[in-house]
Structure 1
Amino acid sequence: MGNTSIRVRRTGQILDVRDATASTEARKRLLAPHHGSATVECLCTNPPIPMTVAHRTIPSETWYLVAADREQAKRHAPDCLARQDGAGTPAAPESAGPAAMIDETGVTLARGFLREWRESTPERETPPPRASRDPDTAPRGVGLVGLLWMLWSQAGLNLWKPGYAGKRDWDIVRLRLRDAAARIRSAKADHWTLADDLFVPPQFNSREAKSKATSEAFHGALNAALASRRVVFLLGEIKSATRLPDGAMALRLHNALPSIEITVPPGLAGDLERAASAWNGLVAAERTDRRILLSRVRRTVDGATISCVGAGVMRVDANAIPFDSSYERRVAALLTEQGRAFAKPFTQGNAPSWWARKMDALGVAPDYVLTDLFPGVFCEVLGRMSDREYRSHAEAKLATYRRAGVPLWAWNPSEDADPPPLPEKQR
Structure 2
Amino acid sequence: METSAHAITAPSAIYEIDGRRFEIGSRGFADAIAEAHASHQRPRCMCLVDGVEMYVARLAGSDRGYIVKRMPDTGSHHAPDCPSYEPPAELSGLGQVLGSAITEDPATGETTLRLDFPLARMPGRSTMPPAGGESDSVSSSGTKLSLRGLLHYLWDQAELTRWHPAFAGKRTWATVRRHLLQAAEHKLTRGDALRARLYMPEPFSIDERDAINARRLAHWQHAVATPGKAQHLMLLIGEVKEIVPARYGFKAIVKHMPDQAFSIDEQLYRRLGRRFEPELALWGASDDIHMVMIATFGVSSAGVPAIHALCLMPVTRQWLPVEDGFEKQLLDRLVGENRAFVKGLHYNLGRDNGIASAVLTDCEGSAPMLFIVPAGLNEATPGRTTGDPGPAVWMWRRTGEPIPPFPQRCTQSPRPTGLGHARRPPQPAHAERP
Coarse TM-score class (shorter-chain normalised): 0.5 to 0.7
Alpha-carbon separation, structure 1, partners of 2:290 and 2:238? 10
| Residue of 378, 384, 389 corresponding to 1:404 | 389
Alpha-carbon separation, structure 2, partners of 1:281 and 1:212? 33
Q: Which residue of 2 aligns with 1:336?
A: 335
Structure 1 residues 142 and 340, CA gap change in structure 2 (3 angstroms): same
Q: Which amino acid aligns with 2:253?
A: R
| Residue of 156, 161, 165 corresponding to 2:164 | 161
Structure 1 residue 177 and structure 2 residue 171: aligned?
no
| Residue of 339, 343, 356 corresponding to 1:366 | 356
Structure 1 residue 100 and structure 2 residue 102: aligned?
yes
Q: Which residue of 1 aligns with 2:326?
A: 327
Higher helix proportion, which one? 1
Alpha-carbon separation, structure 1, partners of 2:326 and 2:392? 21
- 1:372, distance to aligned residue in structure 2 (A): 1.4
Alpha-carbon separation, structure 2, partners of 1:333 and 1:283? 15
Match of 2:181, SS state, is helix
| Residue of 353, 373, 379 corresponding to 2:370 | 379
Q: Which residue of 1 aligns with 2:202?
A: 202
Alpha-carbon separation, structure 1, partners of 2:385 and 2:149? 25
- 1:220, distance to aligned residue in structure 2 (A): 2.4
Match of 1:221, SS state, is helix
Q: Deviations over 1:180-223 (max 9, x none)?
A: 1113212x41xx221011000011133xx4x4365234322244
Structure 1 residues 328 and 172, CA gap change in structure 2 (3 angstroms): same
Alpha-carbon separation, structure 1, partners of 2:169 and 2:211? 22
Structure 1 residues 128 and 254, CA gap change in structure 2 (3 angstroms): same
Structure 1 residues 267 and 160, CA gap change in structure 2 (3 angstroms): same
Bigger shift: 275-284 or 230-239? 275-284
- 1:284, distance to aligned residue in structure 2 (A): 5.1
Structure 1 residues 102 and 337, CA gap change in structure 2 (3 angstroms): farther
Alpha-carbon separation, structure 2, partners of 1:174 and 1:103? 25
- 1:249, distance to aligned residue in structure 2 (A): 4.1
| Residue of 214, 218, 242 corresponding to 1:221 | 218
- 1:330, distance to aligned residue in structure 2 (A): 1.8
Structure 1 residues 403 and 139, CA gap change in structure 2 (3 angstroms): closer
Match of 2:251, SS state, is strand
Q: Which residue of 2 aligns with 1:423?
A: 408
Match of 2:232, SS state, is coil
Larger RCO: 1 or 2 (CA < 8 Å, sep 6+)? 2
Q: Which residue of 1 aligns with 2:123?
A: 119
Structure 1 residues 292 and 366, CA gap change in structure 2 (3 angstroms): same
Q: Deviations over 1:292-338 (max 9, x none)?
A: 001000124x5253211111111111111111111211221222222
Q: Which residue of 2 aligns with 1:238?
A: 240
**Structure 2 counterparts to residues 243-258 of structure 1, below 5 A:** 243=245, 249-258=250-259
Q: Which amino acid aligns with 1:331?
A: L
CA contact (8 A) 1:150 1:349 kept: no
Q: Which residue of 1 aligns with 2:44?
A: none
| Residue of 144, 149, 154 corresponding to 1:146 | 149
CA contact (8 A) 1:273 1:281 kept: no
Q: Deviations over 1:107-154 (max 9, x none)?
A: 42235975554535xxxxxx36555949xxx99731101010111111
CA contact (8 A) 2:240 2:252 kept: yes
Alpha-carbon separation, structure 2, partners of 1:325 and 1:418? 15
Q: Which residue of 1 aligns with 2:24?
A: none
Q: TM-score, normalised by structure 1?
A: 0.60
Gaps of 5+ in 2: 1-89, 91-95, 130-134, 226-230, 413-434
Bigger shift: 223-232 or 406-415? 223-232
Gaps of 5+ in 1: 1-49, 51-67, 70-93, 121-126, 351-362
Match of 1:235, SS state, is strand
CA contact (8 A) 1:340 1:425 kept: no
Match of 1:179, SS state, is helix
CA RMSD, aligned part only?
3.6
Q: Which amino acid aligns with 1:221?
A: A
Q: Which residue of 2 aligns with 1:110?
A: 114
Alpha-carbon separation, structure 2, partners of 1:340 and 1:402? 30
Q: Which amino acid aligns with 2:239?
A: E
Alpha-carbon separation, structure 2, partners of 1:364 and 1:107? 27
Alpha-carbon separation, structure 2, partners of 1:415 and 1:286? 20
Structure 1 residues 288 and 241, CA gap change in structure 2 (3 angstroms): farther
Q: Which residue of 2 aligns with 1:77?
A: none
Structure 1 residues 396 and 405, CA gap change in structure 2 (3 angstroms): closer
Match of 1:119, SS state, is coil
Alpha-carbon separation, structure 2, partners of 1:314 and 1:245? 27
Size of the aligned set, in residue pairs, is 299
CA contact (8 A) 1:238 1:251 kept: yes
Structure 1 residue 414 and structure 2 residue 399: aligned?
yes
- 1:106, distance to aligned residue in structure 2 (A): 5.9
Q: Which amino acid aligns with 1:183?
A: H
Match of 2:308, SS state, is strand
- 1:411, distance to aligned residue in structure 2 (A): 1.9
- 1:230, distance to aligned residue in structure 2 (A): 3.1
Structure 1 residues 407 and 418, CA gap change in structure 2 (3 angstroms): closer
Q: Which residue of 1 aligns with 2:314?
A: 315
Q: Which residue of 1 aligns with 2:268?
A: 268
